[in-house]
Amino acid sequence: MSSDPSQASAPFIENPSTENDPAARQADQTVALERGADSGSASVSAPVVAWTQDPGHQHAWLHAHHPAGSVIVGNAVVDGSGATLSPGDVEDSFYQILAGGARYVLFTSLLDFDLPSLLQSGPRTSEEILTWLHLDRHRGRKWLHALTLTGLLVADVPASDDGERDAHTRRFRLGPAVARMFSAGNHASYFYREFLRYYRASMAHALYSTLRGVPVEYAVRYPPTAPADIALLHEWMRNTALVTLSVLRRHVDFGSVHQLLDVGGGDGTMAMELWRDFPQIHITVFNLPTPIDMLRETAARLGASDRVLGIPGDFRFDDLPQGYDMVMFSRVLADWPPELCRALLRKAFRSLAPGGRLVICEPLADQNPDLAIAWEHSYLPYDDFGLNVYKPLSLYKHMLAEAGFQITAIHPRDQGTIHCVIVSQKPAS
């Protein structure tokens, strides 16, 4: 079947009386779509563009189906922003969307079959991989081919016209990004595996029924309430805390800080590192009771209780302690909607002494668009998570100004991190 939309139409209804009449056939197709939409049938999830070979009819279809305010230029559409979309652009977008789903499924299959471990010792031929994994030869070769199309696997030589010979001579290794994600000893591999486990559980919920309000059987609570979930959250945060702290230390002068309030600072992993490296600093971690108990136990064991203090509380409802020359939100504000973040910034303003600094270290939506899509999508079934938790820099600027802060430095994400560091100051008077 041709992939050129100008050479094919979508046969929704086989109506002999209209098959030679493009306009009538288009009307039939439109009626079929509208009936499907009106019926609420889950089998019709989105309209399908049906192009005919008649340029005039394509032009009429664009007028009828494109939003008001668009300008028709030939068979292309110029939208309100001035961007021109040709039929080819639209088709590219369509397949990019589908390819995203294909990449996800192929990525999870690669991990389900534990190819990182299998290929850890070096490249292998398809025959070796399929034999080791007990896969169907024909389907397995197509699977390996699809993995190479995505870049998840890399072959040492291009495919030839002799598939049987290739099966015994052509070798595959992990793509560079996947190899880095899951290499032995990579500290971040814990995060990738754990997030994917969580993400797959979220994906298991049928979005159609979820959006209709069907109860979610295994809802994720946030903050977690079950002891096992609390322990898992803080294991996750602990295993990724030092990477975030390295970003903070590049941009923040902790050597000039005497009283630091770490809001939502987990079990104190970052606080203990700062305690070791900056002898002048006194650190207060404000968090829920269970992680504060963890912090106090660690501080007592290491002899840090004189400079590391834990105060239990819930920042959603409680005021923050006051009198600090620095307040820090690290990997906190990206979990909550703007309404709560505004309240937290106002609380932080009151918590600071005049001239004190506020440090925000968060991934931003406009600097991490794919990350924002993945996380916001994962939150859809879980009502404890709010709307628009991954926010753009412009919204942070607005909220900070609203709270009375003056921004002194913005350090956007770079190739070493997903986080943006924003430093603001409370006026001295």
Q: Are residues 158 and 244 in the same domain?
A: no
Same domain, 296 and 417: yes
> For residues 316 and 289, what is the distance between their CA atoms, to the nearest angstrom?
14
How many structural domains is the chain composed of?
A: 3
Q: Is the pLDDT of residue 197 over 90?
A: yes
Is 197 contained in some domain?
no
Backbone angles phi, psi at 55, to 5 degrees: -55, -35
* DSSP state letter for 172: E
The pLDDT value given to residue 77: 67
Q: pLDDT above 90 covers what percent of the chain?
A: 71
C-alpha 55/C-alpha 428 separation (Å) is 68
Compute the average pLDDT of residues 261-272.
Answer: 96
Contact 324, 259 (CB under 8 A): yes
| 277-298 tens-digit pLDDT | 999 999 999 999 999 999 999 9
**Helix 227-251 and helix 269-277, axial crossing angle in degrees, nearest 10:** 40
Do residues 28 and 141 both lie within one domain?
Answer: no
Domain boundary among 181, 198, 219: 181
Residue 243 forms part of a structural domain: yes
**What is the per-residue pLDDT for 186?**
72
The answer on pLDDT for 122 being more than 60 is: yes
pLDDT in tens, 61-108: 344 444 555 555 556 666 666 678 888 999 999 999 999 999 999 999
Please identify which residue in the block is written with the tokens 């291009």: 158
Which pair of structure tokens corresponds to residue 58? 């394509």
Residue 171, domain extent? 95-181
Residue 302 or residue 36, greater confidence: 302
Mean pLDDT of 38-47: 37
CA dihedral 54, 55, 57, 61 (to 10 degrees): 130
393 belongs to a structural domain: yes
Question: What per-residue confidence (pLDDT) applies to 79?
Answer: 66
Query: Taking the model in full, what pTM does it have?
Result: 0.80
Q: Let me know whether 273 and 127 are in one domain.
A: no
Is a pLDDT exceeding 90 seen at residue 31? no
Q: Considering the domain boundaries, does residue 337 fall inside one?
A: yes
* pLDDT value at residue 231: 87
- Supply the CATH number for residue 166's domain: 1.10.10.10
Q: What is the token pair recorded at 288?
A: 């829920």
